[in-house]
Chain A
Amino acid sequence: MSAPAPSLFTPAAKATAEKLGLKMGRANLEEFAATLEELAKANPNIVAVTSDSRGSGKLAPFGKALPGQIVEVGIAEQNLVGITAGLAACGKKSFGVSPSCFLTARSLEQIKNDVCYSDVPAVLVGISSGTSYGALGTTHHSLHDLAVLRAINNLTIIVPADNFESRQAILAAAKATKPVFVRFGKAAMYGLHKPDTKFEAGKAITLREGDDVAFIANGETVIHAVLAAAHLAERGIQARVLSVHTVKPLDTEAVLNAGRECRAVITVEEHMVHGGLGEAVASALLHAGVCKPFRIVGIPDEETVPGAQADIFRHYGITMEGLSDTATKLLNK
């Protein structure tokens, strides 16, 4: 057993979450697996494909309950995506499940050709994404996945922030008639949404209104933007927080509204600062002539600092404190 991972949240962050009434949920990955199993029980056409990733994907119970609906391909990610595509082409609703680091690098060509270009309704699930594998190092990080996938035509890319978004993303992917990629991390996540929230792929969710600074975030960083917004409010700064769970197609309208109505824009993501959400937002703003003070917070273009996900987030300022600080400095410039 490895040592328990350090918490993503400082005592101050935890206190803020408590003040906001946020409840800690489970890992998005677990929510994904439970949702997929539930759907697959009702729909025998759903098939999960794994590459010795059943355990990491939390799909062991799925495999036990539905042995006829899971295909193991061994440690062969190219084969995983090809098989997932072939299943989808023959009428199966297939979910190819593999660590995002391998899935989107080793088998990128299969994603591009077999799934996206061939236009089959397969779902690709990148598990333990971003820096979820923390101290295992760069081989196991997927900080490139959104950049490479954004450059491929015909793929919806979803990065859920909490259990609600994770469940909704899988429900949407199961219904999709086009290729979808969804990415899930391993850390337990606070719930961010009210029960009546509407989820639609391609539509950002506004978690907090404000017009001083906009945090445009996705995935496991969104909670930190929410906490930072609360922290900033105590200092009289009103931050808007958008969860842009769908990186592609981007909700340009929500992004432009944020850019027009706020004095500054900060994007936050668990991804290399190149090619991810930040640059997608920058491009949307610039094309529309919206030029506000702007920062992309993510993992910089350097060999990622060794450490657990929490260490990495802290190192690069993806924390309540770090984001508050970035916002204050940007507004005071």
Chain B
Amino acid sequence: MTDHELQLKSFALRRAMLNLIVGAGAGHTGGGLSCMDILNVLYNRILNVSPQTFGDPHRDRYVQSKGHCVEALYAVLADRGFFPASDLATVCHYQSHYVGHPTRHIPGVEMNTGALGHGLPICIGMALAAKMDAASYRVFTLLGDGELAEGSNWEAGLAAAHYRLDNLAAILDHNTLQISGHTRDVMSNEPLDEKWRAFGWEVRSINGHDYAELTEALTAPSESGKPVFIIANTVKGKGVSFMENVAKWHHGVPSDAELKQALAELDASEAALKEAK
């Protein structure tokens, strides 16, 4: 798929995500929209996983540490054919395994996450297992910038560098917002590039909505055996004007009218992009 085709797909994915959030009556709208392009590139271009090969021990591993944005993951996995899109109508419903955070009950999900600060340590175990087996698969995780306040990330930051896990990439969805507002006001964590570099990682700062930059950052092999920390600068609520950079959309569920407007905006942007080709 070309960048243009992938970008066009992102509109359908965003619409699917908003629809399922409304159907669920709950969800993480802002952070889902901010990481959708990252997931789109990962699952459609980078990860060697598919519904057919998901059981292959040599598959790439993706663990979504910011598990609350499971709705974006559900939309991408359904689009990749891991399960029927009709399943998305059951998210958060009684007796549906599609709960509000990732679980291994769902085809395509590697680990149960949702408590923040767990993904990176798990991925270190996975990357170490790959090294021990001399296997070539890569391991990816997605972190939130608010999530970085969890100390376990920094424990893991030391360990990944110590073990020179060049098969590991941590992607930061750097949307600069968390539940209560700006991360810089809640608990400042900048300069993140210098911090992770000082921890012994190779740091790449990119535009997290740019398909070429995402592809390059997620593909390029690590220099000098270091794990890779990708600071993907994103916009929380990306793609829906009234949700962009507004903290309350962290877990805001659109009303019928808001959904209609959001879908219309996405339709219009999609049409404009088609034109642009």
Q: Which of A's residues lie within 8 Å of B, judged by CB?
A: 47, 68, 71, 73-74, 76, 78-79, 81-92, 94, 109-110, 113-114, 117-119
Contacts and interface: CB of A to CB of B under 8 A. Distances in A.
Contacts of B151: 78
B132 A114 contact: no
Given A90-B130, A92-B132, A117-B103, A109 B115 contact: yes
A95 to B, nearest CB: 12
Contacts of A79: 121, 124, 152, 155-156, 159
Given A79-B152, A87-B126, A91-B133, 10 more contacts: A79-B155, A79-B156, A87-B125, A89-B61, A90-B61, A90-B130, A109-B115, A109-B118, A114-B112, A118-B104
A35 to B, nearest CB: 21
Interface in B112-128: 112-115, 117-118, 120-128
B111 interface: yes
Contacts of B158: 74, 76
- How many B residues are at the interface, by size bracket? 20 to 34
B112 A94 contact: no
Contacts of B155: 73-74, 76, 78-79
A270 to B, nearest CB: 30
A178 B175 CA distance: 38
B57 interface: yes
Given A76-B159, A82-B152, A110-B118, A71 B128 contact: yes
Given A74-B159, A90-B130, A110-B118, A85 B152 contact: no
B48 to A, nearest CB: 15
Contacts of B132: 47, 68, 92
A79 B150 CA distance: 12
Contacts, number: 102
A88 B104 CA distance: 14
Given A78-B121, A114-B118, A91 B129 contact: yes
A87 B128 contact: yes
B113 A84 contact: no
A86 B124 contact: yes
Contacts of B114: 113
Contacts of A76: 152, 155, 158-159
Contacts of A85: 111, 121-122, 125
B129 A90 contact: yes
B110 interface: yes
Centre residue among B57, B129, B159 by max chain A CB count within 10 A: B129
A272 B159 CA distance: 35
Given A79-B152, A113-B118, A84 B57 contact: no
25 contacts: A73-B159, A82-B124, A82-B125, A82-B152, A82-B156, A83-B121, A83-B159, A86-B121, A86-B122, A86-B127, A89-B111, A89-B126, A89-B129, A90-B125, A90-B129, A90-B130, A90-B133, A91-B129, A91-B133, A92-B125, A92-B129, A110-B118, A113-B113, A117-B112, A119-B104
Contacts of A117: 103, 112
A47 B163 CA distance: 15
A67 to B, nearest CB: 12
Contacts of A73: 155, 159
A94 B125 contact: yes
B112 A89 contact: no
B271 to A, nearest CB: 42
Contact of A90 (B57, B103, B152, B163): B57
A118 B111 contact: yes
A106 to B, nearest CB: 10
A86 B112 contact: no
Q: What are the nearest 9 A-B pairs in CB distance? A: A86-B125, A82-B121, A90-B129, A76-B155, A83-B125, A79-B155, A86-B122, A87-B125, A86-B126
